[in-house]
């Protein structure tokens, strides 16, 4: 029987789904017959190069291309094994054997291969996928060629000790363990792991520290005055974006998703209306009422090209610039871009704004998340705030 030839094809049926995307499939051809195998990868038309058969213009193009090539290699490996056993693989046997990719994973018993496939083909946000990939890379460092059967209680404990030895902080260790657990749960759901004994049942998750850093009113004043300093040059845009989020409570991802279309006039008053990237909750912010309309004053500096205001560098690059601003301005509080959101929430709560109103302004799904901000003001800080009220 002839060898099977494989290639990638995109949008074979010339039809897009409701999200404007079409599937990438593996075409398997043998003796003029063809079958198509799903890769669970969906792309927009502009994200596929038919000549090179590669993903392009996609935030995760490198990872997706690697995944697609590894997918074909796994199928070819399966075919090779069948040839070695003198049982050449037919197209019908191939499609049955692949069965959504899971059976190949069972044959190879590679846990991290499964994790990558799960990440690449999931509907998670790109930033979430990148975080999950860091965990997979760490698992590969800890144990190469890990099988599904290796995921035991002892493995989890050893993995935790491994991260501690690398001087990872507690919250970072917790993050990676949680990712590992999500991989395990997905493997169980796909029946790739026999769930006779859940290794996480006996495991006790470490308790991390929740720290909310925020700026006091006088520190905000220092930064506001510093923002007017013509000597800070390229840092000016970063500081304006940070202060805007201090007044609005926006996350980095939400700020970067905005455009001029999110700024709405209602009764000639300016509102910011947006849907959160993280929670998909819609928030409506009356900018003219929040912090005496200071967010509007910042926007007025960029009215010639409002969209450019919302286009800033990566989160890590911005945090590095904020660190420079912190030292140049002379404030002592550690600041990152997310400090702006904590500052907004903490000061609103202190000013007596109803906790449910703060919840709506921040776009929290759960009131308990907002409640944290009502519990982080020790008396000393309250006294400082009262002096500057």
Which residues make Cβ contacts (< 8 Å) with residue 187, sequence separation at least 6? 111, 114, 148, 193
- Looking at residues 82-99, what average pLDDT do you find? 68
Task: Please determine, for residue 71, whether its predicted confidence score (pLDDT) is greater than 90.
Answer: no
Task: Please state which architecture CATH assigns to domain 109-209.
Answer: Orthogonal Bundle (1.10)
Looking at CATH, the fold of the domain delimited by 217-387 is given as hpI Integrase; Chain A (1.10.443)
- For residue 339, the model assigns a pLDDT of 94
Alpha-carbon span 385 to 377, nearest angstrom? 10
What band does 380 get if pLDDT is binned at 50, 70 and 90? very low
Residue range 45-70, pLDDT digits in tens: 999 998 899 998 887 788 788 888 88
Alpha-carbon span 187 to 189, nearest angstrom? 5
- In 3D space, the residue among 43, 68, 47, 71 whose CA is nearest the CA of residue 57 turns out to be 47
User: What are the residue ranges spanned by the domains of the chain?
Assistant: 1-104, 109-209, 217-387
- Reading the block at residue 226, the tokens are 């510093």
DSSP string, 250-302: --HHHHHT--GGGEEEETTEEEEEEE-TTT--EEEEETTTGGGGHHHHHHHTT
Residue range 325-375, pLDDT digits in tens: 999 999 988 899 999 999 999 889 888 888 888 888 988 888 887 877 776
Residue range 123-136, pLDDT digits in tens: 777 778 888 999 99
What b-and-e string marks burial along 155-176, b requiring 16 or more CB atoms within 10 Å of the CB?
A: bbeebbebbeeeebeeeebbbb
218 vs 123: which has the higher pLDDT: 218
Residue range 260-299, pLDDT digits in tens: 999 999 999 999 999 998 888 899 999 999 999 999 999 9
What b-and-e string marks burial along 80-106, b requiring 16 or more CB atoms within 10 Å of the CB?
A: eebeeeeeebbbeebeeebeebeebbe
- For residue 121, the model assigns a pLDDT of 77
């Amino acid at each position: 029987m002839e060898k099977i030839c494989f290639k990638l094809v995109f949008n074979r049926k010339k039809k897009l789904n409701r999200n404007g995307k079409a599937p990438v499939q593996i075409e398997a051809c043998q003796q003029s017959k063809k079958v198509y195998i799903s890769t669970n990868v969906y792309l927009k038309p502009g994200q596929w190069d038919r000549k090179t058969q590669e993903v392009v213009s996609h935030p995760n193009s490198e990872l997706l291309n690697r995944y697609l090539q590894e997918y074909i290699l796994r199928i070819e490996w399966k075919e090779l094994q069948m040839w070695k056993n003198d049982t050449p693989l037919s197209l019908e046997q191939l499609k049955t054997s692949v069965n959504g990719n899971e059976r190949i994973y069972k044959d190879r018993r590679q846990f991290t291969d499964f994790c990558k496939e799960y990440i690449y083909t999931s509907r998670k946000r790109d930033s979430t996928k990148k975080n999950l990939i860091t965990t997979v890379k760490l698992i590969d460092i800890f144990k190469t060629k890990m099988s599904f059967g290796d995921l035991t209680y002892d493995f989890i404990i050893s993995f935790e000790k491994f991260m501690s030895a690398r001087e990872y902080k507690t919250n970072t260790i917790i993050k990676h363990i949680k990712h590992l657990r999500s991989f395990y749960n997905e493997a169980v759901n796909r029946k790739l792991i026999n769930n006779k004994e859940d290794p996480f049942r006996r495991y006790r998750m470490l308790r991390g520290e929740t720290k909310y850093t925020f700026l006091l009113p006088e520190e905000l004043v220092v930064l506001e005055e510093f923002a007017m300093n013509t000597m800070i040059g390229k840092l000016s845009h970063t500081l304006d974006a940070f202060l805007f989020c201090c007044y609005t409570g926006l996350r980095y991802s939400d700020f970067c998703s905005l455009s001029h279309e999110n700024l709405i006039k209602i009764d000639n008053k300016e509102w910011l209306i947006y849907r959160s990237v993280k929670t998909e909750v819609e928030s409506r912010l009356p900018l003219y009422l929040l912090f005496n309309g200071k967010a509007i004053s910042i926007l007025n500096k960029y009215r010639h090209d409002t969209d450019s205001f919302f286009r800033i560098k990566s989160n890590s690059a911005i945090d590095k610039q904020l660190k420079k601003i912190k030292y140049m301005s002379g404030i002592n509080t550690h600041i990152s871009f997310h400090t702006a959101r904590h500052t907004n929430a903490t000061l609103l709560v202190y000013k007596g704004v109803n906790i449910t109103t703060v919840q709506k302004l921040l776009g929290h799904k759960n009131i308990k998340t907002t409640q944290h901000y009502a519990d982080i003001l020790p008396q000393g800080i309250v006294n400082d705030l009262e002096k500057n009220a």
